[in-house]
Amino acid sequence: MRRARGITKLAGLALICLTSGCAVLEDHIAFSNAAPVGAVQEIFVSTGRLPSAKDVDITQDRSAAVKFAKYEVSIPPTHVLGQIEWPKGVVDLGSDFAVTGVEDLRSSARMIAAIKAQKGDEVVVFLHGYNNTPSEALYRFAQIGHDFRIEEPRVLFAWPSAGTATGYVYDRDSVLFSRDPLAQLLTAISQHTDKKITLIAHSMGGHLAMEVMRQLALTGQRSVLRDIGTVVLLAPDIDPDIFRAQAHAIGRLPDPFIIMSSRGDRALNFSAILNIGRHKVGDLSQAEDVAGLNVTLFDFTALSDGSNLDHLVPMTSPAAIMVLRDLISFGQLAEPDLSAFEIGDDGVINARPPVIPANAYSSLSP
């Protein structure tokens, strides 16, 4: 029996390798000195590893030295909702994502000052998931910012993922390693700006979000927790027992606190295989996992299309994006129109496939 279980785990890992690739991913961000021809996303970055076009070893040991920068990411006019148009060969700003500006901010104080000077009363902080390079995380947040029309200052906290499908255990350790620098970032935003914080976290980044809020609670940083106005967990890779223990330590959760995922999320299913078959909060298979907590569950199974193991549906499905950007005002659920959803017997809000106009997938229109 034990040997059979081991074979099952290896089979699951093999499937991950086949679908995601087990080789370390090349950090192939593109830079261009040309003037952008499409929209531009300005993103602040706090990380131990800045996105770079060359000389990046994403398998290096974790660094406690945090770097701060501002990137300008050009979104091509031909951009399709939910996609990242990666450059193939020479970058073409008419069809590719590219970095058209970088500023080394050198210190947390300078980055916070730049954030404070921007318009708006919110800051949106994004935590990427497992098996991400810094460049992927930067481009994904640029895509999210553009497609969801986020106008508030955007901060990417790029924690040190190994950037390989076989680095699952390494990445979970990296989450624990990253709690202090993320807590310091959130504390600096809270203490030195007048802006509320919206946390968006994907997959294993959701585990980091919960861990850092737990840490803030246990260290008495309640004022920082109060400045976290909204939490959105996308397909969170968290064991339900751990999630409930984290929520208990945090106490009163930010409101709104939203979990978005799909019951057909194959990445979380594989993660469960690696965890003796225990399901994760993000697969929404058992809504009772969060019963009694002030949490809103959205199920986007009906909008899944099979791409990306259905692990990125709320971020990449054009149908999901069109529903969500009309539903969510970053910072609060602003009298949401739930006509595109139905509430199940388990309390989960289920998306219904909307009718999408043929010209809706090209997304530079306001």
Higher pLDDT, 364 or 164: 164
- Provide the pLDDT for residue 18: 34
Distance between CA atoms of 317 and 80, rounded to whole angstroms?
A: 10
Q: Are strands 257-261 and 349-351 parallel, antiparallel or unpaired?
A: unpaired
Report, in angstroms and rounded to the nearest whole number, the Rg of the chain calculated over CA atoms.
19
Give 71's pLDDT tier (boundaries 50, 70, 90): very high
Does the pLDDT at position 116 exceed 80?
yes
- Provide the pLDDT for residue 360: 42
**What does each C-alpha distance from 179 to 182, 252, 258 come to in angstroms?**
5, 20, 21
Q: 255-264, 299-308, 329-338: lowest mean pLDDT where?
A: 329-338
Count Cβ neighbours within 10 Å for each residue of 307-322 and write b for 16 or more, e otherwise: ebbbbbbbbbbbbbbb
Q: Which of 229, 234, 286, 280 is nearest to 252 (CA)?
A: 229
Mean pLDDT (whole number) for 59-81: 88
Which helix or strand (DSSP H or E) is residue 240 part of? helix 240-250
**What does each C-alpha distance from 258 to 234, 300, 305 come to in angstroms?**
8, 13, 22
Residue 39 near residue 75 (C-beta atoms within 8 A): yes
- Provide the pLDDT for residue 262: 73
Residue 288 near residue 282 (C-beta atoms within 8 A): no
Mean pLDDT (whole number) for 323-333: 57
Distance between CA atoms of 228 and 186, rounded to whole angstroms?
A: 9
Does the pLDDT at position 254 exceed 70?
yes
Higher pLDDT, 322 or 72: 72
| Token representation of residue 85 | 């148009």
What are the E-state strand segments in 167-248? 196-202, 228-234
Does the pLDDT at position 232 exceed 50?
yes
What are the E-state strand segments in the chain? 39-47, 67-75, 98-104, 122-127, 154-158, 196-202, 228-234, 257-261, 296-299, 341-343, 349-351
| Token representation of residue 358 | 């043929």
Amino acid at 105: L
Number of Cβ atoms within 10 Å of the Cβ of 181: 19
**What does each C-alpha distance from 274 to 15, 132, 141, 233 come to in angstroms?**
12, 19, 28, 21
Give 100's pLDDT tier (boundaries 50, 70, 90): very high
- Provide the pLDDT for residue 315: 73
Which helix or strand (DSSP H or E) is residue 188 part of? helix 179-192
Q: Which of 78, 132, 148, 76 is nearest to 314 (CA)?
A: 148
Does the pLDDT at position 358 exceed 60?
no
Mean pLDDT (whole number) for 26-39: 81
Provide the mean pLDDT of the chain. Answer: 78
Residue 198 near residue 330 (C-beta atoms within 8 A): yes
Mean pLDDT (whole number) for 135-152: 92
Distance between CA atoms of 251 and 115, rounded to whole angstroms?
A: 29
Structure pTM? 0.83
- Provide the pLDDT for residue 356: 43
Residue 80 near residue 145 (C-beta atoms within 8 A): no
